[in-house]
Amino acid sequence: MRARKILMVGPADLISAFAAAMLALLSPATARPWVQPESFTLGNGMQVIVLPDHRAPVVTHMVWYRVGSADEPPGKSGIAHFLEHLMFKGTKKIPPGEYSKIVARLGGQDNAFTSYDFTAYFQRVALEKLPRVMEMEADRMLNLQLSDAVVLPERDVILEERNSRTDNNPAALFAEQMEAALFLSHPYGRPVIGWRHEIETLSTQDALDHYRRHYGPDNAILIVAGDMDAAALKPLAEKYYGGIAPRGIPARMRPMEPPHRAARRLEMTDVQIAEPSWQRSYLAPGHNRRADGDPDAAMVLSEILGGGANSRLYRSLVIEKPIATSAATAYQGTVLDYGQFYIQAAPRTGQTVGVLEQEIETVLAQLLKDGVTAEEVDRAKRQMIASAVYAQDSQQTMAQIFGEALATGRGVEDIVAWPDRIQSVTPERVNAAAKFILRPENSVTGILLPGKK
């Protein structure tokens, strides 16, 4: 059984890297975007984006559904990820287990992933094979066949996946506890893979209900990146997807967070942990909710505070003192509702977590008191642009950038304009973002310690 990728939103995820890669959409050396997206909408409501890249006769075909683990009914955590697995179990035309084998025989690759806000499926194939994968993807959008004979064994696969990735991984278990403590009401506090006791009760009917409620062209985004343009893709999209009737899927409704009044702390020990670590998560504005804050300035703040060897935390904790083996920050803002700002560090052997935390607090206090400099802001922008260069050659990355943004409420124009917004970020805006985000009542601080064997 092939392992399916779960995109777990958290400190180690790649969403911030993908967001930084958006700078690749506009080369600073030219007056036009590096990639010029083309778009249209089918009559049934399916949004279609084309990202032309004619360097090789290869395409990446992705279908994104605007539904993720944060859209699951109470008591059914994990059903979004479970259905992602079950989408490979076949239709009347394709027997269970044959989907990926067919793509492999076409010389391509396929996979899928689930996050809090979306579920996505992709295939990477030669251009001439694109009609075949579009036909298969459209078929399972409409004609998925499920029975206990295929659903219940796959539920055991999910449980084993949770065993290996989470239950036997103290760092993953701790990350779950951190998420649950940060969100008081919002379903971002539930793990994407689901709570074990709820996974164990998921049924064939639960999967079918989720499929019928959320999987339809009017809740989907088709993205094709590669040797293709809109004029050539539109007839194919009409042929394979245009005939699927819309499901009348309603807008997403989620509970929002109440005001956060108090800082929270967690401490966990485990015999599998060899070295202690420290982390803190702050609730932060996301790119989809700019009225709640300044996500562009938050990205620059993250780069200045903990984005690499020149960042304030790394210089202070790892180089100058030195009391830490690592120190970094990350900003996760490509979300439908609430973003997060993370700080992570690990003490050197012989140093305590308490001393480490005290030094981090000193760095944060100085930043909030004195602010960032124009030189730091300019350097952060240059670093972000430099890191984005490596994303320009990847169809998958470009498709991922657009898919994540569109599935979390943003538009094509917004994505393309993002580099200009980053270039306009000022030290004053970064300082304001720091004061808005780095508030104790907005945070959860966690310490993961070695346990006695």
Cα atoms in the 13 Å half-sphere on the side-chain side of 251: 4
DSSP string, 203-220: -HHHHHHHHHHH-SGGGE
Q: Measured on CA atoms in the order 424, 430, 431, 437, is the torsion positive or negative? A: positive
CA nearest neighbour of 35 among 17, 18, 54: 54
38, 72, 84, 361: the active-site residue: 84
What is the Rg, in whole angstroms, of the alpha carbon atoms belonging to the chain?
23
- Report whether 113 contacts 120 (CB < 8 A): yes
Q: Are 438 and 365 in contact (CB under 8 A)?
A: no
- Catalytic annotation on 84? yes
Q: And the tokens for 382? A: 């240059």
Which position has the token pair 């998560």? 281
- Strand 47-52 versus strand 220-226 pairing type: parallel
Structure tokens at 156: 């055991």
End-to-end CA distance of the chain: 34
Q: How many helices (H) and strands (E) does the chain have?
A: 16, 11
Residues annotated catalytic, as ranges: 84
